[in-house]
Chain A
């Protein structure tokens, strides 16, 4: 992003953006398709798995995380890790204290 050096552009190429765009649209189509099929409890697992793949593509390419600094990647990883602990503890709490009482 320096004024003098064209090679330090941090953005991905437009090709990558169009690739992500197509992947997101395909993911959207797959999500709607998957919701039409009866997979029992796995419906939500499938649509969430697709959503996570879509989100990862956006973060890596559109938000340049793939080319970003190690610090940024580590921060995102740490955030997800802490998030899993927090969500896990809330779920443990609800499952262990209130199971069957709703």
Chain B
């Protein structure tokens, strides 16, 4: 991906035969089209490594879910479909504002671009806020895996209003212990997803800063566009996480 460095390289390259370079064309590329193709391909390769990375977690999830299904059902019933659903809507909406941001950048509408980017960032913050509330509740109920993990909601569901509402039956202790595995995967997968969002939001702050300087409204929009791909990818991961973690045996 090319952004601010393009300016310096463009100046160096100014001397040679191709004299009509836009300033953002890096000197090792023949043309703007070639540069766009190469960096777009690189972005896709990066995202495909991410697909492979998350797939590892999904495979672990799939196998343990098959092995310890009753424990995964009881664990999943502890998650709030309402909060997860609201977060899904928030993330899908942030994906829309991100796509529109790229569209406005290409049309050189700086204020609309900034409005979309800031909205995307704010929606990301709200998503993480809700996620934080969910995590907090899990910590308070000792559903975070580790030495203090509590089986109370699973061996004695009558003690837990959430389990009562879901109509859970008491689990034998050895089965109930497997809920720890569900929560380990829940925290690993949503935590890795949240980490990607935090990294994305860091990049967004940088992009907003550069957009204010007019960096993306002079015809060179690749950086915003490829960042958008990343943001949409994070959205796709959540589209799979939500039904797999929140919606096990909800009827």
A contacts, CB < 8 Å to B: 1-3, 8-14, 17-18, 20-21, 24-25, 27-28, 31-32, 35-38, 43-44, 47-48, 50-51, 54-55, 58-59, 62-65, 68-69, 71-72, 75-76, 79, 83, 86-87, 90-91, 94, 102
Residue pair A31, B103 in contact (C-beta under 8 Å): no
B contacts, CB < 8 Å to A: 22, 32-33, 36-37, 40-41, 44-45, 48, 51-52, 55, 59, 62-63, 67-68, 81, 85, 88-89, 92-93, 95-96, 98-100, 102-103, 106, 218-222, 225, 228-229, 232-233, 235-236, 239-240, 242-244, 247-251
Residues from chain B with Cβ under 8 Å of A71 in the complex = 37, 41
- Which 4 A-B pairs give the minimum distances between C-beta atoms? A3-B219, A35-B247, A47-B243, A79-B48
Residues from chain A with Cβ under 8 Å of B240 in the complex = 48, 51, 55
A71→B39 CA distance, assembly (Å): 12
A-B pairs under 8 A by CB, number: 137
Residue pair B92, A28 in contact (C-beta under 8 Å): yes
Residues from chain B with Cβ under 8 Å of A10 in the complex = 36, 106, 225
Q: Specify which of A2, A55, A58, A86 is in contact with B32 (CB 8 Å cutoff).
A: A2
Residue pair B243, A58 in contact (C-beta under 8 Å): no
Residues from chain B with Cβ under 8 Å of A90 in the complex = 59, 63
A88→B219 CA distance, assembly (Å): 45
A12→B243 CA distance, assembly (Å): 28
Q: Specify which of B45, B85, B103 is in contact with A32 (CB 8 Å cutoff).
A: B85
Tell me the minimal C-beta distance from A96 to chain B in angstroms.
13
